[in-house]
Amino acid sequence: MIPAPPFTAPTRADILAAAGRLDGVAVRTPLLESDRLNDRLGGRVLLKAECLQRTGSFKFRGAYNFLSRLEDDEMAKGVVAYSSGNHAQGVARAARLLGIPATIVMPSNAPGIKIANTKSDGAEVVLYERSDGNRAQVAGAIVEETGGVLVPPFDHPWIMAGQGTVGLEVADQMAALGIEPDLMIVPTSGGGLIGGCALALEEPYPDLAVHTVEPDGYDDTALSLAAGERVEITPPGPSICDALLLEIPGALTFEVNRSRLGPGYGVSDAEAGAAVAAAFYDLKIVLEPSGATPLAVLLSGKEKLDGRTAVLVGSGGNVDPGLFKQLLD
């Protein structure tokens, strides 16, 4: 049965169990490195390429871990999710693999590639206007009508445990390389990915500094960490970092993150766009602007390596071709 709130934070054992469920299903994504990028930034940079994950984003991990734990009667009623795109695609693909009907509520201005990919996995897509801020209400009405299970995007222990498998893999890969990281930078929206990674890595690397990065003006997590309590922001407007546009951190994720994370960073659209281009030219991968934000922190000089080793999570690669070409040009 699905645990009801208030939720208990996942443990490292929960993340290890999630890794077992994902074994042979999720891609074990590589840590990528570029000598030219290392020289440019004055240290060692290793990027966890979750853009190469199924559906092009880390979100598949949490979605599959959640859906695979449902009872048969819950699966039969189907699942419902709301998302700007990456959680949508993760839930749709996990539902298809497990034979579960899925309905996804998405903003009408989400990148076309994300809407198309969600539909291609067999999910029914219901569009809403992002400016209305009513995604949760729309999804709630569908749950009420169908009896389906709502799959939260981040604020749930099963979701966090699935995302934490990114951190487990990083620990294994760093150990294989014989390297100890000095800092980690993770794109942050609701806080499930960074929280899962922090939980997974605190045992092998207790002194690791883990930092958030958010689009300028959408720094709700950074502000909340500084204040010691959840802070809600007023959205400043659109951003090309569409996967990171949230007004307030999750309740569970913030409880996990408040004592484990260092100060957060903000980056502009221009800085994120420059990082998309650098990832393509130096690492030969496609990152969406949201997924390139950790690299943007280093390229913009907001954090200087000075010989240290940084692990960056390239959280996704679902960028519209037109925008991608524009950023490269």
Per-position pLDDT tens, the chain of length 329: 677 677 899 999 999 999 999 999 999 999 999 999 999 999 999 999 999 999 999 999 999 999 999 999 999 999 999 987 899 999 999 999 999 999 999 988 888 888 999 999 999 999 988 777 678 888 999 999 999 999 999 999 999 999 999 999 999 999 999 999 999 999 999 999 999 999 999 999 999 999 999 999 999 999 999 999 999 999 898 999 999 999 999 999 999 999 999 999 999 999 999 999 999 999 999 999 999 999 999 999 999 999 999 999 999 999 999 999 999 99
Cα 171 to Cα 182: distance, rounded to the nearest angstrom = 13
- Which tokens in the block code for residue 68? 């695979």
**DSSP annotation string for 79-100:** EEEE-SSHHHHHHHHHHHHHT-
β-strand 124-128 against 183-187: which pairing, if any? unpaired
Cα 149 to Cα 244: distance, rounded to the nearest angstrom = 24
- Which residues touch 199 (CB under 8 Å, ≥6 apart)? 9, 10, 11, 12, 15, 160, 164, 167, 256, 260
Cα 285 to Cα 307: distance, rounded to the nearest angstrom = 24
pLDDT (0 to 100) of residue 133? 64
Cα 61 to Cα 67: distance, rounded to the nearest angstrom = 10
CATH of 12-57+157-328, one of 3.40.50.1100, 3.40.50.300, 1.10.30.50, 2.120.10.30: 3.40.50.1100
Strand residues in 121-246 grouped as ranges (E): 124-128, 149-150, 183-187, 209-215
Residue pair 300/267 in contact (Cβ under 8 Å)? The answer is: yes
Nearest to 30 by CA among 308, 292, 296, 283: 283
Nearest to 275 by CA among 249, 313, 221: 313
Cα angle value 102/107/111 (rounded, 5°): 95
Longest pairwise C-alpha distance within the chain: 57
Cα 23 to Cα 121: distance, rounded to the nearest angstrom = 21
**DSSP annotation string for 25-55:** TS--PPEE--HHHHHHHTSEEEEEEGGGSGG
pLDDT (0 to 100) of residue 217? 97
Instruction: State the amino acid at position 104 in one-letter form.
Output: I
What residues does CATH 3.40.50.1100 cover in the chain?
12-57+157-328, 60-150
Give how far Cα 314 sits from Cα of 53, 137, 168, 279, 294, Å.
10, 31, 15, 9, 7
Cα 204 to Cα 12: distance, rounded to the nearest angstrom = 11
Give how far Cα 319 sits from Cα of 41, 106, 117, Å.
25, 16, 12
CATH of domain 60-150: 3.40.50.1100
Residue with tokens 């709502």: 150
Q: Which element (helix H / strand E) includes 105? A: strand 102-107
What is the DSSP secondary structure assignment for residue 57, as one 8-state letter?
B
Residue pair 232/220 in contact (Cβ under 8 Å)? The answer is: yes
